[in-house]
Amino acid sequence: MALSPYFPGHGDPRYGVAHYDLDLRYRLSTNWLSGTATLSARTVEPLVDLELDLGPFRVNSAKVDGVGVRHTHRAGRLRVLLDRPRPADAPLSIEIAYAGRPHPVASPFGGVGWEELTDGAMVASQPTGAPSWFPCNDRPDDKATYSFTVSTASAYQVLTNGAPVARRRSAGATTWVFSPTEPMATYLASVQIGRYQTSEGLACPARLAGKARHDFGRQSQMMALFTERFGPYPFAGYTAVVTDDDLEIPVEAQGLSIFGRNHVDGRRGFERLVAHELAHQWFGNSLTLARWNNIWLHEGFAAYAEWIWSEASGGESAAELAARWHQRLSAMPQDFTLADPGPALLFDDRVYKRGALTLHHLRTTMGDAAFFSMVRAWTAAHRHGSVSTAAFLAHAPSELEPMLSSWLYGRALPRFP
């Protein structure tokens, strides 16, 4: 039933979701989340039941089109029995009321999803962490719009994938309402809760504000450069969130990126990661892989964006960085194919850098003007959609397909251009 062989326990391709309405209440002192999720869905084939992905919460009720229905919930799968059979292409309203203590979902890469912080909470769900906090059809190709209503203690700020459209205070709690307009994959939906100071695309603890403003101070220049090279920025806004905890790596969400305090040093020592996460707004968030084997279309482009920023900001050129990384990759095992690395290597650095090298070879072959024109056409053609390696090959010049195929489908590392 699952769509992706990389994560066979996630997703139900028999229906699609058009909109998630999430009404959430979070108590920080006890890490208790209660919520009602209403999914506007449509069947793909005739159905008598459907499955949602949801972590170990207590499901208080399940309704379909306002009618209470039977359900079973085990091993992260919530099976909902419809009150009557539905034909293909039939609309459904699915309402799930649930509660419990959210925690990260286990994955080959560690826990992902909702995570308690020392003083707050964060969500970083890539690739399969969305069920850690809401019931969903956890497939990257099943994009939907969202609305969020989040209530928590008034001392804390809530950030999600869009700007707040309303805020109400009562009895020590504040309710925040968000309605981002662009469709997104489940793993990119996010909630950040903390004592943040916000300004000019940055949210961080007050004590880190001085260093963070310096370290993230060139985001506007990055935005201008990437808009020129990649096409119009695809979302209404962007915020880099710095938590007051250490994080192993920064993680992107739609319209957000999440960094740890360990990524702030006051010397722009992690600026390449600032560029990397911003680039994901085009490559990964607007253009989202249809299957997880296509991860190079996210990480290869974001890694190459680091090199583009380096050469534009007075650092090493993309050619110099490409030559260095080709030499490094030549000394590493060449035991995967870029277009299908397998789930264990999904976030292996070799995937990132070989993807970047693929794009650099394409750029040197086509020339800058033609290459970036092609990239802008790629982001325009698939804006807010799903992409695949096959679609990219069809988009690139046909005479370059043999060269691209050697990078994408061969195991041996091609020669440096």
CATH at residue 403: 1.10.390.10
Q: Is residue 226 part of a domain?
A: yes
Stated pTM of the model: 0.96
CB neighbourhood size of 271 (10 A): 21
pLDDT at 5: 79
CATH number reported for the structural domain that contains residue 57 in this entry = 2.60.40.1730
Same domain, 272 and 156: no
Same domain, 74 and 216: no
Q: Is residue 417 part of a domain?
A: no
- Pairing verdict, β 256-259 and 251-253: antiparallel
pLDDT at 293: 96
- What domain count does the chain have? 3
Same domain, 215 and 185: no
Domain edge (last residue) among 281, 316, 348: 281
Beta-bridged to residue 259, according to DSSP, are 242
Q: Which long-range contacts (CB under 8 A, 24 or more apart) does 219-225 make?
A: 219/274, 219/278, 221/313, 222/274, 222/275, 222/278, 222/309, 223/278, 225/308, 225/309, 225/312
pLDDT at 3: 37
Same domain, 135 and 61: yes
Same domain, 313 and 403: yes
pLDDT at 138: 98
Same domain, 67 and 145: yes
Q: Is residue 416 part of a domain?
A: no
The Cα angle at residue 11 between residues 356 and 91, in degrees rounded to 5: 120
CB neighbourhood size of 148 (10 A): 24
pLDDT at 171: 87
Same domain, 219 and 325: no
DSSP structural state of residue 384: T
Residue 289: name the closest of 150, 204, 185, 207 by CA: 185
Q: What are the per-10-residue average pLDDT scores of the chain (417 residues)?
A: 69 98 98 98 98 98 98 97 98 98 93 96 97 98 98 97 94 95 98 95 97 98 98 97 96 98 98 98 98 97 98 98 98 96 96 98 98 98 98 98 97 91
Contacts of 303 (CB under 8 A, 6+ apart): 276, 352, 353, 355, 356
Same domain, 184 and 111: yes
- Structural domain containing residue 273: 196-281
pLDDT at 188: 98
Same domain, 189 and 209: no
Contact status, residue 228 vs residue 375, Cβ threshold 8 Å:
no
